[in-house]
Amino acid sequence: MDKFIINGGKRLKGEVNISGAKNATLPIMTATLLAKGNSILHNVPRLIDIKMMSHLLRVLGARVDFHGDVLEIDTTYVNYYEAPYELVSKMRASIYVMGPLLARFGQARVSFPGGCAIGTRPVDLHLKAMEALGAKINIEHGYIKPACKELIGNEINFDKVSVGATANALMTAVLAKGETNIHNAALEPEIGSLIDFLNKMGAQIEGKDTTHLKITGVSKLEPAEMEMIPDRIETGTFLIAGAITKSEITVSNCIPKHIQVLIDRMEDAGYLFEIIGDSIKIYPPQIIKPVDIVTQPYPNFPTDLQAQFLALMTLADGQCTVEDTIFPDRFMHVGELNRLDANILMDKNMAIINGVKSLSGAEIMATDLRASATLVLAGLAARGQTTISRIYHIDRGYERIEEKLQKLGANIKRVRG
Ligand code: EPZ
């Protein structure tokens, strides 16, 4: 298994370009199943998760070609509606095929996604949405089997904000008969880009960027072509790479307003920013002020940047807390950061961080996607050498992260394990 070897304590400099958003691309890839024909997606990142979703679409009968950053998906001959255990167990986002397969075939068979390092990951809200549209759901032998002769539009009230359930509800309702209203829909930019893509396919969805989405069902959708939005989590991760190494760097090809809340919190910590168009330049302070954060659905502080911000706060001048209300167990990185001489205590789903003067390099292990990015950030700041094992997690969500960091002057190399 590959490892990263990092010699930390160096300033970074220069500019980094942000890739297309993984969490925007994955649901759009499954939305192509709603039509027959060739859809074309641009600015697609080369990630393990994109490869896994491409494989799943091929299993369903689609033809998928990936050249450069262009993904072509021909769904003309899709004739299979089962997402098997061995694929779903590796990538939870496979559940995004459930809505489109139900809408296209009147049935689907999707392995119940298991838990992962950040929590149990229930799917009750996904099922509630499909039942509201008329599906009967049978769950047996670890498979979810929704079936419905004719989907009928309805009211869908989510008692909790869920990105995935909002996506699946949208991808089912677009071909349902009549009108569907989704209340308490997720506001994440990735939902907005899914709505843009579905409307390009011929869907009729109103209310983008609000919590109330109104869908007027149509009888047929066509393939579409679209550019993927930049990855706001990669954007935030690189801003924190600059912040934790006290460097002035520029992050380009991003959408600053998508991570406004991170910029606000980092300004509270003393950082200054220069935002010009799709670029953000960060200016570090002498002293990092401690800042408390609580993760909440968009536009509040994203859970996917919780670990990275926590790593930054290990070097703050004082005490602060980081609470994750979305994934209360998402703290596997804390133990590893403490191995780098951080001083973090856990109290249920809240980390209490007492800032230290510096971190020191050690051997650590990645556990999940965002935690592994966090360990890289901490390694960049730590004095001496840090070795990170199990870095396959990081390749799931970051395109060539070590090359991008090397271009910024980081001393990081990948050692084939
Ligand atoms: C998406 O996961 C993202 N994944 C996650 O990013 C992200 O952390 C999460 O949204 C929150 O923003 C993709 O987009 C592929 P949710 P998702 O449904 O849709 C609970 C990464 O690092 N819930 O919004 O699975 C759930 O337990 C990944 O790129 C239910 O209770 O998240 C959580 O507490 C990690 N029932 C909350 O809702 C359900 O049916 C939000 O989860 C569904 C979710």
The span from the CA of 61 to the CA of 38, in Å, is 13
CB 399 within 8 A of CB 46: yes
140 vs 46, 80, 328, CA distance in Å? 35, 19, 28
The span from the CA of 295 to the CA of 177, in Å, is 37
Ligand 1 atom with minimal separation from the 397 CA: 29
User: From atom 7 of ligand 1, which residue's Cα is the shortest distance away?
Assistant: 304
The domain boundary, picked from 179, 212, 227, lies at 227
Q: Which is nearest to 213 in space by CA: 148, 133, 157, 150?
A: 157
User: From atom 1 of ligand 1, which residue's Cα is the shortest distance away?
Assistant: 163
The CATH number assigned to the domain holding 293 equals: 3.65.10.10
The span from the CA of 215 to the CA of 228, in Å, is 22
Q: Do 86 and 64 have their domain in common?
A: yes
The span from the CA of 261 to the CA of 41, in Å, is 28
Q: Do 298 and 407 have their domain in common?
A: yes
User: From atom 18 of ligand 1, which residue's Cα is the shortest distance away?
Assistant: 162
Ligand 1 pocket member 123 (CB < 6 A): yes
Q: Which of 116, 148, 254, 320 is catalytic?
A: 116
Ligand 1 atom with minimal separation from the 127 CA: 40
Ligand 1 pocket member 304 (CB < 6 A): yes
Q: Could you say which DSSP state residue 110 is in? A: E
The span from the CA of 347 to the CA of 351, in Å, is 6
Range of the domain at 101: 22-227
Q: Do 202 and 279 have their domain in common?
A: no
Ligand 1 pocket member 330 (CB < 6 A): no
The span from the CA of 336 to the CA of 166, in Å, is 34
* SS3 call for 20: strand
CB 17 within 8 A of CB 399: no
User: From atom 30 of ligand 1, which residue's Cα is the shortest distance away?
Assistant: 122
Task: Identify the pLDDT of residue 215.
Answer: 98
Packed helices 232-244 and 369-381: angle between N→C axes, nearest 10 degrees: 20
Q: Do 248 and 173 have their domain in common?
A: no
* SS3 call for 28: helix
Ligand 1 pocket member 242 (CB < 6 A): no
What amino acid occupies position 207? G
Using the mean position of ligand 1's atoms as its centre, give its distance from the Cα of residue 250 in Å. 29
> φ and ψ at 288, to 5 degrees?
-90, 120
Packed helices 189-200 and 163-173: angle between N→C axes, nearest 10 degrees: 10
Using the mean position of ligand 1's atoms as its centre, give its distance from the Cα of residue 63 in Å. 28
The neighbour count for residue 219, using CB atoms within 10 Å, is: 7
Ligand 1 atom with minimal separation from the 325 CA: 34
Q: Do 41 and 10 have their domain in common?
A: no
Q: Do 169 and 28 have their domain in common?
A: yes
User: From atom 16 of ligand 1, which residue's Cα is the shortest distance away?
Assistant: 162
Using the mean position of ligand 1's atoms as its centre, give its distance from the Cα of residue 315 in Å. 29
Using the mean position of ligand 1's atoms as its centre, give its distance from the Cα of residue 368 in Å. 14
Q: Which is nearest to 70 in space by CA: 29, 23, 16, 27?
A: 29
The span from the CA of 99 to the CA of 168, in Å, is 5
Cβ neighbours for 317, distance < 8 A, ≥ 6 positions apart? 287, 288, 289, 290, 355
> φ and ψ at 26, to 5 degrees?
-60, -50
Cβ neighbours for 298, distance < 8 A, ≥ 6 positions apart? 186, 187, 188, 189
Q: Do 197 and 319 have their domain in common?
A: no
In the chain, the number of structural domains is 2
The domain boundary, picked from 204, 227, 250, lies at 227
Positive or negative: CA dihedral 228, 53, 114, 211: positive
Profile the chain (417 residues) by mean pLDDT over runs of 10 residues: 95 98 98 98 97 97 98 97 92 95 97 79 94 96 95 98 98 98 98 98 98 98 98 98 98 98 98 98 98 98 98 98 97 97 98 98 94 96 96 92 98 92
The domain boundary, picked from 227, 259, 286, lies at 227
Ligand 1 pocket member 26 (CB < 6 A): yes
Mutate to test the pocket of ligand 1, among 88, 124, 163, 233 (most ligand atoms within 8 A of CB): 163
Task: Identify the pLDDT of residue 332.
Answer: 94
Ligand 1 pocket member 162 (CB < 6 A): yes
Task: Identify the pLDDT of residue 327.
Answer: 95
The neighbour count for residue 283, using CB atoms within 10 Å, is: 15
- Max Cα–Cα distance, the chain, nearest Å: 64
What count of Cα atoms within 13 Å lies in the side-chain half-sphere of residue 251? 28
201 vs 150, 197, 222, 247, CA distance in Å? 20, 6, 5, 44
User: From atom 6 of ligand 1, which residue's Cα is the shortest distance away?
Assistant: 304
- Answer yes or no: 116 catalytic: yes
Q: Do 186 and 321 have their domain in common?
A: no
Task: Identify the pLDDT of residue 115.
Answer: 67
Ligand 1 pocket member 165 (CB < 6 A): yes
What amino acid occupies position 239? L
User: From atom 43 of ligand 1, which residue's Cα is the shortest distance away?
Assistant: 123
Ligand 1 pocket member 191 (CB < 6 A): no
Q: Do 37 and 133 have their domain in common?
A: yes
Q: Do 210 and 246 have their domain in common?
A: no
CB 133 within 8 A of CB 173: yes
Kindly write down the DSSP assignment for every residue of 265-320, as one continuous string. Answer: HHHHTT-EEEEETTEEEEE--SSPPP--EEE-STTS--GGGHHHHHHHHTTSSSEE
Q: Look up the pTM and report it.
A: 0.98
The span from the CA of 264 to the CA of 257, in Å, is 11
Ligand 1 pocket member 164 (CB < 6 A): yes
Q: Do 308 and 347 have their domain in common?
A: yes
Q: Do 242 and 354 have their domain in common?
A: yes
Using the mean position of ligand 1's atoms as its centre, give its distance from the Cα of residue 161 in Å. 9
